[in-house]
Structure 1
Amino acid sequence: MQPDDKEILHLAQEAGKPDQALALLMKKYKERLYWHIRKMVIVHEDADDLLQNTFMKAWKSIGKFRGDASLYTWLYRIATNETLNYINKKKEGLLNEDSDMEIMLGNKIETDPLFSGDEIQKRLQKCLLALPEKQRLVFNMKYFEDMTYEQISEILGTSVGALKASYFHAVRKIEAFIKNEVF
C-alpha cells in the first residue's frame, strides 16, 4: 500500500523524522520520477543521478514544504528543474547546442542496452528529441504520464493555454516527422 502524502509530511515536519519521510517519498514516487527524467535525458545513468539529486533536494527542504502545491507537483517541479539545468549545462559544452545534443541523445537511444524499445519506439523517441525542449517536456508529461494541463501548469509555472499550444505544436511536428519519415 502506498504511503499517504499527509503521513509523509507529518513525519517530516511534525514528527521530526525526515529520513523516514524520505524513504516513504522515494517508495511512492521513485519510479514515476525516474521515467519522467529518463524521457528527457535518455541515458539511464544520467536519469539515476538526477533522481538522486531530486530526492536530496526534497529531503533538505521537505521540512519547509508549505503545501502551496501538492507533494506530487512539488517533486515533479524539483525533478524538472534539475533535469533542465543538467541539459543546459550539457549543451554549454557542445558547439551547435540543439543539433549536437539531439544527435548525441539519438545515438544513445541506439546504443543504450537498457533501452528496450522496438524500432517504432526508437523512432518516436528520436522525433521527440527534435522538438524544442518545452514542447518535448509538455508532450512527455501529457502523453506518457497522462498529467492534466492543470498539473503541468503547477509544475512548469506556465498557463494552461500556453501548455495546450505547446502540446498541439508538438503533436503536429511529430505527425509531420512520421509522415515524412525524417529520421
Structure 2
Amino acid sequence: MDRYGPGMFPYARTLVGHEQDAGDVVQEAFVSAWKGLPTFRGDSSLKTWLYRLVHRRAMDHHRRRRPVPVEDEAFADLLADASGDPVRQAEGQEMLTDLRRALAELPEMQRACWLLREVEGMQYQEIADTLGLPVGSVRGHLHRGRTTLAERMSRWR
C-alpha cells in the first residue's frame, strides 16, 4: 500500500473524478488484491496487477454512475512555471480546464491508456497487462486518444 497506493489514488481520481470515489475505488482494489493474493501468478508485475484492479473498480464505478470531468492534481505541475505571472497563470488554468474537459470526453479506454502512459509513465506492455488488452490495442487507443486531444487542444499550440 505504501509503495503503490500513492500512484494508484491519482489514477483512480482521474478516472472517477472525485477524491472520495477514488478512495473507495483504491480501497476496493486493495481488498480485491488481499483476497486474490493467493491466486496471483506473477505473470505481470505487482504494480501492473494492482493498477488493473483499480481500473476494473473504476469501470465498475462508471457503470453505476455517470462520468464526471477529470480533476487531477497531476496536471498542476504544468502551472508551476507560471508562478508570479498572473497572465500566464490565468492562461495555464484555462489550458488545464480545456485539457480536463477533453480528457473527460475521451472514451474510457483511450483515457485510461493516455493516463497510464503520460501521467503514470507505464510502458505499453504494462498498460496492456493492466487493462487486459493486446499491446496493439493499447497503441491504437493511445493514437486515437492523442489525435483527439491534439485536435481539441490545438488552440494551445
TM-score (norm 2): 0.80
* Greater radius of gyration (CA): 1
1:151 aligns with 2:126: yes
- Structure 2: unaligned runs, 5 residues or longer: 77-92
Q: Give the equivalent residue in structure 2 for 1:175.
A: 150
2:98 to 115, 123, 127: 123
Q: Distance in 2 between the 1:164 and 1:63 partners?
A: 32
CA contact 2:10–2:74 (8 Å) conserved in 1: no
Task: Indicate how the Cα distance of structure 1 residues 141 and 116 shifts in structure 2: closer, same or farther if over 3 A, else same.
Answer: closer
TM-score (norm 1): 0.70
- Structure 1: unaligned runs, 5 residues or longer: 1-25, 92-100
Percent identity between matched residues is 29
Q: In angstroms, what is the RMSD of aligned CA positions?
A: 2.2
1:52 aligns with 2:27: yes
Q: Which has the higher contact order (CA 8 A, sep 6+)?
A: 2
1:138 to 113, 120, 125: 113
Q: Distance in 1 between the 2:13 and 2:53 partners?
A: 14
Kindly provide the CA deviation profile for residues 8-65 of structure 1, in whole angstroms up to 9, marking residues without a partner as x: xxxxxxxxxxxxxxxxxx1111111101111111211110111111111111221332
CA contact 2:74–2:119 (8 Å) conserved in 1: no
Task: Indicate how the Cα distance of structure 1 residues 37 and 172 shifts in structure 2: closer, same or farther if over 3 A, else same.
Answer: same
